[in-house]
Structure formats: structure tokens, C-alpha cells
Amino acid sequence: MVTTDMDVAAIPASALKGVGPKLREKLERLGWHTVQDVLFHLPFRYQDRTRLQPIGSLRPGQEALISGTIELADVVFRGRRNLLCRLSDGTGHLTLRFFHFSSAQQQNLERGRVLRCFGEVRAGSSGLEMIHPEYELLDDAAAPQPEMTLTPFYPTTEGVHQLTVRKLVGRALDLHLARLPELLPEALLQELRLPTLQEALVFVHRPPPGADLAELEQGRHPAQQRLVFEELLAHHLSLKRLRARLQRQPAPPFEKRDTLTRQLLAALPFTLTAAQQRVLDEVRTDLHQSHPMQRLVQGDVGSGKTIVAALAAVMAVESGYQAGIMAPTELLAEQHWRNFLHWLQPLGIEVAWLSGKLSAKNRRSMLELIASGRAPVAVGTHALFQAEVEFARLGLVVVDEQHRFGVHQRLQLREKGRRQGLVPHQLIMTATPIPRTLAQAFYADLDVSVIDELPPGRKPVDTVVVSDQRRDEVVARVHAACRDGRQTYWVCPLIEESELLEAEAATATAAALTTALPELRIGLVHGRLKPAEKEAVMREFKDGRIQLLVATTVIEVGVDVPNASLMIIENAERLGLSQLHQLRGRVGRGAAQSSCVLLYHAPLSENARERLAILRQTHDGFEIARRDLEMRGPGEVLGTRQTGEQAFHIADLVRDQRLLPKIDAAAQRLTDNAPECVTPLIRRWLGVREHYGEV
């Protein structure tokens, strides 16, 4: 490892020649603040301009560098003005076609001029052609020279041309690369057969002729894997360091009282499964510590995570602290509130409810209950972390479906406990099972518990895939189920008509089903209903007064109606695997055998066909999540594209998961043998985002 007199992380990007105040502002949108940022701004694709192709060897569809003499140049009118230039190199000829051109351009592109061009070859009306190629006029005597390296293409921003980015990256490489410190031990690089950082960056920015284009564009070249390894290592080190930092912060150690806990367990109409009991014991052990619990509880749909959260909240109350339970949607938060009321009110525990849609009077009342401590438990949506919400003694934060919240939202809720000098314990729940490799990478700062057992009596849901051409048969099946005293969900992904998606709207579907099944009581739920209306419909469905509930995917998580035994999902081909699994989990909660019908609109893509087949083959949420990860990527599975979670610059957890087992050992070696390299490595890849891991 080497250090230098002036690290490129300290040199501003504006030090590069040609970067004035206006350009600097635009480059900051690309994340360019230092020369190091410039060096790590990596290409996303390449073109091979390293060899001239004979025109006679060209085929449609390929990108090629050619050189030739203009034999003919003319403006023609074929619906619109076209400038056509026929180019020949002795092996064949090709037409250059320009739709947009100036008179000066037309004068330059005259017969006898020699051009070097790069573009995509297409089949035209009179042979091969290139439309608006990049071109360069050459001196007649000059031999056309190809590029010395593959041509990189970089992410850009408005007002910054691709050529400008290439030029500035080139200057950074030529003038400052030698100052970039190597932060990984030489022995580790040799062991993993990876190049040095400087070698890797030169290769990625300037791949030599003959470099494997396909390997580079897939991110699998050893030079790219060297950067991937360093990024994954920096991310892992950051999470580990944040975990260590959190362990040093004071948290309220809950007392080992269990009077209320035993009362709640005795009042339940069921016994905890072995998996629930194991996870509860792990949570209890954490809550007795004087450092904050950071535990992620994963459990498949219907595995019973909510009662574990309720028991943890009771432990907080028995020790004189408050618990805040946050859920991402009004519907799920309301259900949690009703469950907590049902379980905790008989124990004399007041449960406050806070959502953004409460009346001003009710809101003031709830805020006072929470601030005074008279409500030891508060359940709500994102409204819980708003500035005016004050807790008397917040000791436990429970976040359900945590990846649906933005990073700053979760941080704000935890800060409400920190104001009293203590960091509250944090219990995170998800009904989206996260594959082991993904959990290791995204949640290395958390202890992970898994409820991997369903309550006794739960039967697998029969899953069938049916074309919407057979809708009448499906409607008849709904009629039969409801006539037998069961209830049915009919899920539509949209609220109103959309030509773009060609999906049935929930409102139109409810109207059509009312016409087809006039004797059934049909309800409608979607995100645009007022909370009171939505709750009224859901309560009627839960109480059995509504037999068929037409809904959008707002019922994806949390809703529990044991008598519902049939689930119809419209346009199932449009939904991801995990979402389909979540929806299917709304049925199969009672004693009756349940079914899920996946209605699709033909034709099916190969990807959609595979997704629906997987749903039929397995009910294992972890296997479904693994396959979902392979098919859609971690950003979709975790919902991180919308929530500001850490994103990787170059690493891809699906492609690069084989590196993950080596990361932990490498992190330990670096921490033990070169601790001075840890902070620069984290800053290089995460910058200001490092604090995100604290939430």
C-alpha cells in the first residue's frame, strides 16, 4: 500500500484545466467534487474504434469505423430533405444519410473528400448505409488512424457533452492517477488475482484493442471486479463500523419483568410457534442490554411477526418506556393499531394512533397522549416522525416493511429517543424474505432473526395460472366460493383506466362484477379512498358483511381475514414475484383450503411466463425472493430505488455475489493490519452517505 503527498480526494475537480465556474456546477450534478470522483466516474459501455473495417466486410447491425472517399454527394427529397454521400474504399461502397445538416456541412461533404466515420451499419433502400455517423474530414495525404483504445461512454448530465467528460477523465488519468493511494494489501490482491487500483482504472477507462467488449459491458472483467471488490469491501466496513459505533451508544436496558408479557401470552387464542419463541428470546436478550438492539426480523407472509413486535412493546412498557410502531401504509398501520388495541388494552396499556389524515382535534389529543407518556405505545404511518411528535420516554422503535421508508424518515424517528440521552432499541420487520447474500450485503450492521415456520394448520394455497380469456369461468368460481360461505379478493393493479398498461381498473372491475354477480355484496378499496371509507369497507369485509372485495395492491401486506379463501389477481404478469407472493398470502389463513388464480393477458413474455411458473412451483418465500433477486435485481426487490438506500456505483449483488464470502475476511484483515486505510476507503466509495447505515 502506498500513500502520496497529496491525495486526489483532496484536489477539487475544478483544478482540471477547462473546468470553469459554470461547468463546475454542471459537473457537481454528476457527483464530481474532487479529482478522485472524476477517476471513479466509470464508463457504462464502449465502442471499438481501434481498427478500420473494409466497407466490403460490413454487415447490418454492427458498429464500425470506416474510411473512404466521397464518390457522390447530393441533396434529395424523399418526404424530407436528405443529404446523401456515397463513400467507397475500394472494397465496397456505403451511403451516409443526414436528415439535419447545414449549408456549410453540405459544402464540406463534397465529391473527392476523404472521411473517417463511425456509426451503426443499416440496410438501406440502395444498399448499406449509416445515418448521422460521427465523421472526421481527413487531409488527402494523411492515412486514417484508428483510435488507440476502445472508446468509453460515460454517464453525463444536461449541458455536459460526452467528449467533455472523456477529455476531463483523460486529464485526470494523465496528471493525477499516480497520486491515487492503493488501500488494499498487495498480498490480498495476489491472493484474489486482482490488479492494482491504478492498473484497473487505466484498463477500465482505456481498454486496449482486442479487449473483450462483452465481458466489459457485463462488468465481469478482472479490472472491473477489482473495483467491485473494493466497493463491496468499503460498504461492508462502513456497516461494521456503524454497528460498533452504535454499540458504544447508551440504550435503556429493559428490566427483566415479565408479568404483562405472561398475561398477554396467556390471553392469546394460540400458542407461539417454536420459531416465534426463538426470535422472541433473541429480542428479549437484546432488550436487556445497555446498547441499542438493531435486529431485523424476517418472516414469510402469515408467520406471525406482529405478535413478536407486540410482546417487545410490552417489555418496553413494563420497564417504563414507550414504543413507537411505524408502518408504510394507512391500511397496514391501522391494522397494527387494531391488533395492538386488542392485545394491549386488556392489560391496561393505552395505544395511541397517529396518521396524517386525523382531524386536527384528534391529532392534538393523540400528540398529548404520546408527549405525556399516558400512551406508552404509539402506532402510525410516517406521521410518527414529524417534528411536533414528542415522546416522553421512547425506548423501542418498531419499523414494519422498513425498506419502504426513506433513510431520513427512519433516522428522524430514532432521533426522537436520542433527545433524552438514550438511543432507542430498534426492531425492523419485513414480510419480504431477503436472500442470505442480499441480507449480508445490505444489513451487515444488523442481527438477523428468521421466523421460518408457519402457524400449525396453515395449508399451502393452490395456485393456478389462467388466461383472462377464461374470465367467465373465474367469475363462476368466485360465485361458488361465496355461495359456500367463503370470501374472495379480486385484485387489480390500477385505480383508473390506462391505455398504456391495458390493465382493468378496480372501479370498472367492481362495476362489471356487480353486474355479473348481483346477489353478492361487493366492496371496493383503493388508495384514493378517504381513510374512514377504506376502513369501513375493510371492516365490513373482515366482519363477513362483504363477500367479494375488489382492491388495488393496497391490500398487499398486513390484512388478515381468515374466512377469505380465494384470491384472484388480474394482470398477474405485470407484478414482481415477491409482490405476487405477498398478495397470495392474504388467503390461506383459515381452516378451509384456499386458492389463488393468477389471471394473465396474452401474449406472455418469457420473463412473465417464468415468474408465474415459479409461483405455482413453490410457497417458500425465501426461494421466491432468491428467484426474484435473480430476475429483477436488488434495487427492485428491496424498493431502494425510491427510498434513498445505499446504491452501488459498480457492484451488482446478483452478478458479484461470489465475492461476498471473501469480503468479511478481507475487512477483518484490513482492520487488523492497516486500520489507517479503512476511513479513506469508506470515504472513497460512500462519501457522505455513510451515516445511512445507522438507521
Query: What's the whole-number mean pLDDT along residues 48-75?
Result: 92
Based on the fold, state whether residues 189 and 290 are members of the same structural domain. Answer: no
In a domain, 2, yes or no: no
Is the confidence at residue 373, as pLDDT, over 90?
yes
Instruction: Tell me if 625 is assigned to some domain.
Output: no
User: Which is higher by pLDDT, 646 or 451?
Assistant: 451
Q: How many domains does the chain have?
A: 4
Residues 445 and 467 in one domain: no
Same domain, 405 and 494: no
The pLDDT assigned to 418 comes to 67
Specify if 335 maps to a domain.
yes
What's the chain's average pLDDT?
A: 85
pLDDT: is 320 or 217 the higher one?
320
- Secondary structure, 3-state, 160-227: CCHHHHHHHHHHHHHHHHHHCCCCCCHHHHHHHCCCCHHHHHHHHHCCCCCCCHHHHHCCCCHHHHHH
Phi/psi of residue 576, each to 5°?
Answer: -75, 160
Q: Are residues 155 and 131 in the same domain?
A: no
Residue 165: partners with Cβ closer than 8 Å, 6 or more residues away? 30, 41, 154, 156
- Are 602 and 527 within one domain? yes
The secondary structure of residue 563, as a DSSP letter, is T
Per-residue pLDDT, averaged over 432-445, amounts to 66
Confidence of residue 385 (pLDDT cuts 50, 70, 90): confident
pLDDT the model gives residue 691:
47
Average pLDDT over residues 16-41: 92
d(CA 329, CA 408): 17
Residue 550 pLDDT: 92
Is 335 in the same domain as 433?
yes
Q: pLDDT digit string (tens) for 167-184?
A: 999 999 999 999 999 999
Encode pLDDT of 74-112 as tens digits.
Answer: 998 877 889 999 999 999 999 999 998 988 888 899 899
* Locus of grid cell 388494552: 345
Instruction: Clarify whether residues 383 and 493 are in a common domain.
Output: no
Q: Is 165 in the same domain as 131?
A: no
- Report d(CA 218, CA 655) in Å as an integer: 9
The more confident residue out of 642 and 146 is 146
The lowest-confidence range among 229-233, 471-475, 494-498, 566-570 is 494-498
Distances (CA, A) of 27 to 32, 168, 169, 347: 5, 11, 12, 59
- 118 or 444, greater pLDDT: 118
Write the single-letter amino acid at 403: H
pLDDT at 484 over 90: yes
362 within domain boundaries: yes
Tell me what percent of the residues of the chain surpass a pLDDT of 70: 87
Domain contains 528: yes
% of the chain surpassing 90 pLDDT: 51
What is the grid cell recorded at 114?
Answer: 476523404
pLDDT band of residue 588 (cuts 50, 70, 90) is confident
**Per-residue pLDDT for 531 more than 60?**
yes
**4 has pLDDT over 80:** no
Q: 37 with 177, same domain?
A: yes
What is the distance between the alpha carbons of residues 594 and 588, in angstroms, rounded to a whole number?
A: 5
Give bridge partners of residue 136 from the DSSP assignment: 116
Whether residue 569 is found in the same domain as residue 614: yes
Q: Largest alpha-carbon pair distance within the chain?
A: 97
Q: Is 230 helix (H, G, I), strand (E, B) or coil?
A: helix
Question: Cα–Cα distance between 79 and 101 in angstroms, integer?
Answer: 16
Q: Does an H or E element contain 114, and which?
A: strand 114-120
What's the pLDDT score for residue 687?
74
Structural domain boundaries enclosing 580 = 462-618
What length is written for the chain? 695
Task: Note whether residue 251 is domain-resident.
Answer: no
Angle, helix 577-584 to helix 606-617, in steps of 10 degrees: 40
For residue 100, the domain's CATH number is: 2.40.50.140
What is the model's pLDDT at position 654?
72
Q: Is the pLDDT of residue 29 over 80?
A: yes
Q: Which CATH number fits the domain that encloses residue 357?
A: 3.40.50.300
Q: Which residues pair with 325 in a beta bridge?
A: 379, 398
Last residue of a domain, one of 430, 451, 472: 451
- Phi and psi based region of residue 210 (left: phi greater than 0; alpha: psi -120 to 50; beta: remaining): left
- From residue 160, give the alpha-carbon distance in Å to each of 28, 30, 165, 338: 11, 10, 7, 54
Does residue 144 sit within a domain? Answer: no
Domain final position from 600, 618, 636: 618
pLDDT tens-digit readout, 253-289: 999 888 999 999 999 988 999 999 999 999 999 999 9
Residues 6+ apart with CB under 8 A from 547: 482, 487, 488, 520, 521, 522
Residue 282 covered by a domain: yes
Same domain, 444 and 356: yes
The pairing of beta strand 394-400 with beta strand 425-430 = parallel
Q: Alpha-carbon distance 594 to 123, whole Å?
A: 56
**623-660 residue pLDDT tens:** 887 787 777 655 554 444 333 344 678 888 778 878 88
Nearest alpha-carbon partner for 596 in 611, 580, 573: 580
Q: Which of 618, 650, 680 is the last residue of a domain?
A: 618
Confidence at residue 227, expressed as pLDDT on a 0 to 100 scale: 96
CB contact set of 193 (below 8 Å; sequence gap of 6+): 222
Q: How far is CA 489 from the centre of its chain?
A: 28
Quick one: cell of 314? 410490552
76 Ramachandran zone, left/alpha/beta (phi>0; psi -120 to 50): beta
Calpha distance 107→88 (Å, rounded): 19
Instruction: Say if residue 352 is in the same domain as residue 486.
Output: no
Rounded-to-integer distance, Cα 431 and Cα 585, Å: 10
Q: Which of 180-189, 234-243, 451-460 has the highest mean pLDDT?
A: 180-189
In contact, 98 and 132? CB cutoff 8 Å:
yes
Question: For residue 505, which of 516, 494, 513 has the smallest C-alpha distance?
Answer: 494
Cβ within 8 Å of residue 496, ≥6 positions away: 505, 507
pTM for this structure?
Answer: 0.68
> 575 falls in which pLDDT band (50, 70, 90)?
confident
- One-letter amino acid at 620 equals D
Backbone φ and ψ of 86, nearest 5°? -95, 125
Q: How many CA atoms lie within 13 A of 88 on its CB side?
A: 9
Q: What is the pLDDT of residue 417?
A: 64
Q: Is 644 helix (H, G, I), strand (E, B) or coil?
A: coil
DSSP secondary-structure letter at 122?
A: E
